[in-house]
Amino acid sequence: MQIRAAVSRNAGADFSVETLDMLDIQADEILVRVVATGLCHTDIAVRDQILPVPLPAVLGHEGAGLVEAIGADVQGLSVGDHVVLGFAACRQCPQCITGQPAYCREFTPLNFSGRRRDGTSCLHDQNGEVSSHFFGQSSFATHAIVAAKNAVKVTKDAPIELLGPLGCGIMTGAGAVFHALQLKQGESLLVTGGGPVGLSAVMAGVVRGADMILVSDPLPSRRAMAIDLGATHVIDPAAGELAEQVRAIVPAGVENVLDTSGIAPVIEAAVGTLAVRGRLATVGVPRSADAAVSLNILQMLSLGIQISGVTEGNADPQTFLPQLVDLFLAGKFPIDRMISSYRLDQINEAIADQHAGRCVKAILTM
């Protein structure tokens, strides 16, 4: 069949919306008509080849849509089901078996090789193969072929056109608060970076009953959105040292920090905001593959602070995404407030708007 897709052909260049040929599904796969897909910073990092995927490629990894066909070996899904697409995992290795598929031993080849496990791509143009199965889906397209185990069935009561970002960015921010930091009621939370991931962390902090939620971001529009979503304080990083501004609000320091920026000086500054035995989790993709932070070992020892890297919010999409959908339907996780919709052929405009802060979370509709 033929599909329309946004193709990345050259590092750093705009996407081009093209017609591609899509092969048939395999026995363990499903064909999904993509209704909408989120635009994530990771897509841009791959477009720019900070994270390498063979080009040309169809990216996109926050897809949601309707099942149109199922393979012979697929169980638990039917044509017409509403699904949110998650990242790919083998579901057989020790990490997958213990509920941590984001650390699957095959995570890199399954999500970044541009191929299925058998080495084939399902997408072609007139010159040959185009990388597919990015994060198990390649959802910058009207249709996506995904392994059935990477699709999460959700209730038809929820607006499927809003749910795609649950599969990565929103799950990452909320999951980091729930699972990595394990924020407790009455604790404080500092979020560095008020983009979609950071704002998802804010909403998660509200759900978990945080006493104070602080957000540091240079854009006034994102600071305003953070307050709207439940932050108690916002910080302009240009107004002074981060630690001084935080401790003017919380003199003893904060128990929890989530860095979504991936910027080494920001992470280093955030360490200085931690209370005794505070916890810092970092989820942001850095701007270069060799980015590193410098930490004071004695400070870490004397304060007993904990620092961890987190992928996909330490969450299993199969169990966590339905929880987030339920919270959304209950009015406790208002993701719709930060979403702006664009058509697929407006992808480059959406990227520019999101980068400039003219929108918080862009969703591409098909």
Q: Which two tokens stand for residue 230?
A: 């439940």
Q: Order of strands across the sheet with 254-259?
A: 233-235, 212-216, 188-192, 254-259, 274-282, 306-309
The answer on pLDDT for 325 being more than 90 is yes
Q: What is the pLDDT of residues 343-352, one digit of tens each?
A: 999 999 999 9
The answer as to CATH 3.40.50.720 being correct for domain 173-311 is yes
User: Strand, coil or helix: what is 94?
Assistant: helix
Average predicted confidence (pLDDT) for the chain: 96
The answer on pLDDT for 286 being more than 90 is no
Specify the residue for token string 């931690």: 274
The answer on pLDDT for 184 being more than 90 is yes
The answer on pLDDT for 60 being more than 90 is yes
Closest of 29, 316, 63 to residue 148, by C-alpha: 29
For residues 226-239, average pLDDT:
97
The answer on pLDDT for 144 being more than 90 is yes
Q: How far apart are the first and last CA of the chain?
A: 16
In single-letter form, the type of residue at position 229 comes to L
Beta bridge partners of 257: 190, 280
What DSSP state is assigned to residue 305? -
- Angle, helices 242-249 vs 264-271, to 10°: value is 40
Task: Calculate the dihedral angle through the C-alpha atoms of 328, 107, 344, 228, rounding to the nearest 10 degrees.
Answer: 30
Q: What is the pLDDT of residues 152-181, one digit of tens each?
A: 999 999 999 999 999 999 999 999 999 999
Closest of 170, 163, 232, 222 to residue 201, by C-alpha: 170
User: Strand, coil or helix: what is 135?
Assistant: helix
CATH code reported for the domain at 2-167+334-365: 3.90.180.10
pLDDT band at 108 (very low <50, low <70, confident <90, very high): very high
Note whether 290 and 118 are within 8 A (CB).
no
How many DSSP H helices and E strands does the chain contain?
Answer: 12, 18
Q: Quote the strand ranges of the chain, DSSP E.
A: 2-8, 16-22, 29-38, 57-58, 63-70, 82-85, 123-125, 128-130, 143-147, 151-154, 188-192, 212-216, 233-235, 254-259, 274-282, 306-309, 339-343, 361-365
- CA-CA distance, 258 to 189, in Å (whole number)? 8
Residue-range domain boundaries for the chain: 2-167+334-365, 173-311
Q: What is the pLDDT of residues 36-54, one digit of tens each?
A: 999 998 999 999 998 889 9
What DSSP state is assigned to residue 141? B
Closest of 124, 121, 160 to residue 38, by C-alpha: 160
